[in-house]
Amino acid sequence: MNINWHKMKKIQNIHRLLYAAGLGPLVGKIILLLTTTGRKSGLARTTPLQYELIDGKYYLGAARGRSADWVRNIEANPNVQVRVKRLSFTGTARVSSDFKEIADFLEIRLQRHPFMIGMIMKKAHNLPRKPNRQQLEELAKNEVMVVITPDES
């Protein structure tokens, strides 16, 4: 996968600023702010991430897989805080490497955002813009995702 991580950090900073400026309801249509507890520092770490809301749970793809700091933080402590649109809540996160569950998630992302996700499939994974289920399952075998269940309150 060929992703410019330096450019990605700049984009994440813009998303943080947009939320801080009160534009969460607009940005929150596709971006949430996930706060984890640093596994080494114990400090709050906030990361803007794309998400899908499916059956009351928030699904997050992890482009860097288990090497992403926010994923490793969740593996150490699954208690998270989420800010999405105008909502703020606590939840419990789990990291999944179940390729069928990940393929289901990718199918939903493709249905909801065909152009954006299709371009990611093509550029980052060298797949057709409309991959079939078998191609998604093959891709998913090397991926992880995070599922956040909001706490009841």
- Predicted pLDDT at 18: 72
Residues written for the chain: 153
What CATH number has the domain bearing residue 72?
A: 2.30.110.10
Number of domains making up the chain: 1
- Predicted pLDDT at 6: 64
> 101 vs 97, 105, 136, CA distance in Å?
8, 6, 11
Strands (E), the chain: 31-37, 44-50, 52-54, 57-61, 79-84, 87-96, 145-150
DSSP state at residue 67: G
Q: How far apart are CA 34 and CA 82, in angstroms?
A: 5
25-38 confidence digits (pLDDT tens): 777 788 999 999 99
Q: Which long-range contacts (CB under 8 A, 24 or more apart) does 14-17 make?
A: 15/48, 16/46, 16/48
Q: Which domain holds residue 82?
A: 5-150
Q: Across residues 136-151, what is the average pLDDT?
A: 96
Output the six-digit token pair for 108: 């939903």
36-67 confidence digits (pLDDT tens): 999 999 999 999 999 999 999 999 999 889 99
Q: Which of residues 12 and 129 earns the better pLDDT score?
A: 129
pLDDT bracket for residue 5 (50, 70, 90): low
